[in-house]
Amino acid sequence: MQRPGVTRGRFLPLYSGRIVGGTLGERGWLGSGVDAHQHFWDPTRHHYPWLTEERATLRRPFLPEHLRPLLAQHGIGRTVVVEARSSLEETRELLQLAAITDFVAGVVGWVDLRDPALVEVLAGLRSAPGGEHLVGIRHPVREEPDRSWLSRPEAIRGLGVLAEQGLVFDLLVTPDQLEAALTAVRAVPQLTFAVEHMGGPAPDGPEPAWEAGMAALARCPNVVCKLSGLAIAGCERLRPLADRLLGWFGEDRLLFGSDWPVCLLSTTYDQVLERLDCLLQDLPAYIQERVRGGNAAHVYRLPEAQANLKATPSP
Ligand SMILES: [Zn+2]
């Protein structure tokens, strides 16, 4: 069955003229894959507190023109860009960027979930330039000192608003937060939760807290999982983690994401794709296509690549 947002087995021309932020891909078009997790940032314009000394190599602008050639090389035609500095200003900027960048199909922005005026805040974002690209919200729960932050009543109330608005909530958590995540998932069954980076497993192998937490989340039909954060280990060490996730979530609820440019701390975009290829190689082609793009397009309700055309006026 054809899913919304998915075109199987062929590539689509994205744009036949001038592309914002760079030149056309190698062959003049991008591909049918979806990268469901990437970031843009510009430390020359804004402060990113997590860009510390150890991450000095990431302290430079990473913008659409830097990602475009990598996508073209790997047949990826659409991306979901995820917030990186938890501010409404950034969310507005990412929406604007989506409006002028052909391959950015969705934005997972940030809002204060506890804001009593959340409905109005979301309406403001949606009516701003590029607002139609808002597909989800992330709050970096991983950084919250209270490991049960997600199960607080004010967070649950905010998640309920996201559900009413048809948005996805991206879950950035570590294994010790999976229990609170489960509470939130059960409290807001109408909301789709996308667990980022496989739920933060240790690279050395599945730990009991991660296994129990992720298996329980997977039993809830409103949870999907990003096969992202593949920079943590090579294919052989990732395999037991990926196999468990496939078993728990099944072929329809796993979404590939590169986590570019964060992945560049220890890998390259090419290596991340090599690891994905290695993890998926024994699966039937139709399942691979779902994980590589179909599922992300469906979960985030991304526009078709053709409908995602954004032309700049000719000079
Ligand atoms: Zn990320």
Tell which wins on pLDDT, 89 or 311: 89
What distance in angstroms lies between residue 39's CA and the mean position of ligand 1's atoms? 6
Measure 63 CA to ligand 1 centroid, in angstroms: 14
C-alpha span between 79 and 49 (Å, rounded):
25
Question: Mean per-residue pLDDT for 235-239?
Answer: 96
In a domain, 7, yes or no: no
Distance CA 102, CA 31 (A): 12
Does residue 24 carry a pLDDT above 60? no
Question: CATH number, domain at 291?
Answer: 3.20.20.140
| Share of residues in the chain with pLDDT > 70 (%) | 87
Q: Tell me if 26 is assigned to some domain.
A: no
> pLDDT (tens digit, 9 = 90+) per residue, 138-187?
999 999 999 999 999 999 999 999 999 999 999 999 999 999 999 999 99
Q: Which two tokens stand for residue 301?
A: 């309700």
Please tell me the total count of domains within the chain.
1
Dist. CA 191 → ligand 1 center (Å): 21
pLDDT of residue 30: 67
Query: Three-state SS string across the chain, please?
Result: CCCCCCCCCCCCCCCCCCECCECCCCCCCCCCEEEEEECCECCCCCCCCCCCHHHHHHCCCECHHHHHHHHHHCCEEEEEEECCCCCHHHHHHHHHHHHHCCCEEEEEECCCCCCCCHHHHHHHHHHCCCHHHEEEEEECHHHCCCCCHHHCHHHHHHHHHHHHCCCEEEECCCHHHHHHHHHHHHHCCCCEEEECHHHCCCCCCCCHHHHHHHHHHHCCCCEEEEECCHHHCCHHHHHHHHHHHHHHHCCCCEEECCCECHHHHCCCHHHHHHHHHHHHCCCCHHHHHHHHHHHHHHHCCCCCCHHHCCCCCCC
How long a stretch of residues is the chain? Answer: 315
pLDDT at 151: 95
In this prediction, residue 5 carries a pLDDT of: 33
- For residue 17, being part of any structural domain is answered with no
- Going by pLDDT thresholds of 50, 70 and 90, the confidence category of residue 19 is very low
CB distance 36 to 257 below 8 Å: yes
CA dist., res. 112 & res. 165, Å (int): 15
Domain assignment of residue 13, yes or no: no
* Domain contains 199: yes
What is the 152 CA–ligand 1 centroid distance (Å)?
Answer: 24
- For residue 132, the CA-to-ligand 1 centroid distance in Å is 22
Residue 205, pLDDT score: 82
Q: Distance of CA 5 to CAs 29, 167, 171, 251, 310, Å?
A: 18, 16, 23, 17, 17
What local confidence, expressed as pLDDT, does residue 262 receive?
A: 97
Separation between Cα atoms, residue 299 and residue 108, nearest integer Å: 12
CA distance 244 to 215: 9
Between 189 and 17, where is the model more confident? 189
Of the pLDDT bands very low, low, confident and very high (cuts 50, 70, 90), residue 31 is: confident
Residue 15 lies in a domain: no
pLDDT over 90 for what percent of the chain?
85
Distance 206 CA to ligand 1 centre (A): 21
Reported as a single tens digit per residue, the pLDDT across 93-111 is 999 999 999 999 999 999 9
Domain that holds residue 72: 33-308
Look at residue 14 and tell me if it is in a domain.
no
**Among 26-30, 83-87, 103-107, 183-187, where is mean pLDDT lowest?**
26-30
Alpha-carbon distance 188 to 280, whole Å? 32
**Which pLDDT score, from 0 to 100, does residue 304 have?**
82
**How remote is the CA of residue 258 from the centroid of ligand 1, in Å?**
8
Cα(40) to centroid(ligand 1), Å = 10
User: Measured in angstroms, how far is the CA atom of residue 156 from the centroid of ligand 1?
Assistant: 23
Q: Calculate mean pLDDT across residues 247-260.
A: 97
Q: Is residue 304 part of a domain?
A: yes
pLDDT value at 188 more than 70: yes
pTM value is 0.89
Give 174 Cα–ligand 1 centroid separation in angstroms: 13
pLDDT at 14 exceeding the cut of 50: no
